[in-house]
Structure 1
Amino acid sequence: MDICQTDAQGDEPTARYATACRTSITLLKERNAEQFLAEEQLAEDLHNDVDGGGPKDWQRFYMGYHQRFVEDCVLELKAGQLRVRLAQAPSAKVAAKRAAEGRNGKGNQQKQKQLDKASDPALTGTTVWDGAVVLSHYLTETGILVRQSNLPYAYSGGSLPTVLELGAGTGAVSLALAASRAVASVTATDLPDLLPHLRLNVGRNSSLLLPGHVHLQPLRWGPVGEQDVQNLGPVRPPYDVIVGSDLIYYSYTPETPHSRLLLWTLRRLCGPHSTVYLSISLHHNPEEVERFLRWAAEGDDGFYVLRLKASIPQQWRVPEVLVTRLTPKWAAAAAAPIPQGLDSGDGGLMHRAAMRGNAGNGDAS
């Protein structure tokens, strides 16, 4: 049956025609997206093991206690010409926890543990982890975030993106991006209790930053953080790029639902043209990482998931850190226009509409 029926007056395409046309364009774009993703994944060469050979000297996981948790961490960017210095302070949290146990006895230790998980899963927020190191270098050294002027970002309107970091912690990734002039703006978010330490590191690196380019905001994950989402500013969602490093530690349970809450927040902050980069240290909980990525790919409101390897500079490519790129599946539906002004006698209608839809997606990463 011809889908290009006209209404009773024969003037305009019917609603049925418009719906069918939009559906066809969407399906075409989804097939193209899946095919392109498969080609990209093949090019990442995940099964090539030539990058082995033991830990690299920059990997924090293999350093001593003081280097990993106490001393400043220095990110050397642009071949050492740019140095971002990050204070670490987990000792304050450890001391507070031990003091609470000493005062309150064993009976309150479980309550303290639950509070620790609620405010800072695994007490990681004031430590620089390998995932942050890898992501910082990948995003600043490859030029992946810089676009041609004729293909600007959808939300910034320019060649550099608006960026939001989830679970920023010490601010390593956000400060690397801002100091490298790789973003139009960056909004670093974390739990309210962790913002003072994040603010400290922003201040320590202020000479490297352009005024007004770094913003700090509290953001809890999941529905409980909806008001935090509403209060984000001065740059509002959606964002061109969302980043996060080492955000997955605990296995999903009703008591520790962090993976599900993270996914909820990603969907809430993404627009159809957003791109998400997550860097995850696999030392912590590789099974939960796989479960999270599987959940992320599910459903029409999920993401196309690309695992990166070959595109990461070799010096920062290690098997213990997984970098992934997530792009919204709903971009296809959002970008599919309803053709206007085409009559039922146009035999090339569907092809022309599909081509128009594809041309409108030139800024997809």
Structure 2
Amino acid sequence: MQHDHKKNSRDTSHKVVRDQQTGQNGDKSDTTVVQLRVRVDDDDVQRETLLDFECDWTPGIGGSIWTSGELLAAYLVLQRESYRLIFTNACVVELGSGTGYVGLTVAACFRPAHVYLTDLETHLRGLRRNVKRNAGKVRPGVQVHVLELSWGSSEQQTSLLEMVASTNAAGSETLKAAQVDVILGTDVAYMQELYVPLLHTINRLATSRTVILLGLNRDDTGVAFFQQLERDGFEYYRIPDSKLPKEYWGRDFGLFEIRRRHD
């Protein structure tokens, strides 16, 4: 999420562990901690790991966890066999990370090489706290990075791509070597004014091999967003309910897989 003007419809379907935290001066903060159980496969042996996410409304709505984020995380865990190869050794960028809920789920469930959690500067402190909270839950060898990225900012997009290029297998610093394999985003197109900067960023980061997974509220995301996607040379596929956890069937939230069109 990049703006803080979303409808006040706070989602509470995740498990709240602690409703409030007390600051050093005895004041109550707007911070909650939620937990997510993630199934992990290690050498054909299934186990569970428990992720902790601190949610803080102080910087805005991006400090909370929303249904589309829960949906994408749950879908990836459920369909992890289908996505295992896609994520293995991949460079993953999450746009509008907020709490890092989806990106850290990927870092715990799969084995990407790098996961870049990006958001506005106001949300980076909370992101870093959640990365620290879950450092022991991330799969061995996975590197998690936190970066500022305001959609549409050419300078920040270039900085991200330079970092991607410098950390790839060849250690190159040229932008041509920057390959983003997966782009993740949830609740990122809930206002029409976000379409242009968001798609500017997606266009800059995505190559012909990039898989883009977006979780969207269908009431908030207008047809104009998908029309612009097509004009920009992308094709999209709505993931059917039959592939989602049953508790999300028939909801007003959809998952979309997007790729550059091969003409």
**Structure 2 length-normalised TM:** 0.75
Are the aligned partners of 2:181 and 2:209 in contact in 1 as well (CA < 8 Å)? yes
**Cross-structure match for 1:238:** 179
Instruction: Identify which of 33, 37, 53 aligns with 1:86.
Output: 53
**Cross-structure match for 1:178:** 107
In 1, Cα distance between equivalents of 2:182 and 2:15 = 34
1:190 Cα offset (Å)? 1.2
1:202 aligns with 2:135: no
1:145 Cα offset (Å)? 1.6
Report the AA paired with residue 11 of structure 2. Answer: R
Sort the Cα spacing of 1:60 and 1:76 in 2 relative to 1 into closer, same or farther, 3 A.
farther
TM-superposition CA deviations, 1:286-305 (whole Å, max 9, x none):
43xx321221112xx42111
Instruction: Identify which of 207, 212, 226 aligns with 1:293.
Output: 226
More strand by share: 2
TM-superposition CA deviations, 1:232-270 (whole Å, max 9, x none):
333573211111111123232xxxxx2111111111101
**Cross-structure match for 1:32:** none
Instruction: Identify which of 192, 199, 207 aligns with 1:251.
Output: 192
In 2, Cα distance between equivalents of 1:223 and 1:261 = 8
Instruction: Identify which of 200, 219, 223 aligns with 2:149.
Output: 219
* Equivalent residue runs for 1:11-160 within 5 Å: 60=11, 70-78=31-39, 81-90=48-57, 92-93=58-59, 123-143=60-80, 144-147=82-85, 159-160=88-89
Sort the Cα spacing of 1:198 and 1:160 in 2 relative to 1 into closer, same or farther, 3 A.
same
**Cross-structure match for 1:327:** 259
**Cross-structure match for 1:26:** none
Are the aligned partners of 1:145 and 1:160 in contact in 2 as well (CA < 8 Å)? no
**Structure 1 length-normalised TM:** 0.55
1:221 Cα offset (Å)? 1.1
Question: Aligned residues: percent identity?
Answer: 23
Q: Which moved more, 1:264-273 or 1:75-84?
A: 75-84
Are the aligned partners of 1:142 and 1:313 in contact in 2 as well (CA < 8 Å)? no
Unpaired stretches in structure 1, ≥5 consecutive residues: 1-58, 94-122, 148-152, 253-257, 334-365
In 2, Cα distance between equivalents of 1:270 and 1:73 = 32
Aligned residues: 224
Report the AA paired with residue 321 of structure 1. Answer: F
**Cross-structure match for 2:207:** 271
1:61 Cα offset (Å)? 5.1
TM-superposition CA deviations, 1:292-320 (whole Å, max 9, x none):
1221112xx42111011222232343512
Are the aligned partners of 1:135 and 1:173 in contact in 2 as well (CA < 8 Å)? yes
TM-superposition CA deviations, 1:11-49 (whole Å, max 9, x none):
xxxxxxxxxxxxxxxxxxxxxxxxxxxxxxxxxxxxxxx
Are the aligned partners of 2:37 and 2:51 in contact in 1 as well (CA < 8 Å)? yes
Are the aligned partners of 2:14 and 2:35 in contact in 1 as well (CA < 8 Å)? no
Sort the Cα spacing of 1:315 and 1:138 in 2 relative to 1 into closer, same or farther, 3 A.
same
In 2, Cα distance between equivalents of 1:228 and 1:318 = 40
Structure with the bigger RCO (C-alpha within 8 Å, sep 6+) is 1
* Structure possessing the higher radius of gyration over alpha carbons: 1
1:208 Cα offset (Å)? 0.6
Report the AA paired with residue 304 of structure 1. Answer: E
In 2, Cα distance between equivalents of 1:328 and 1:268 = 12
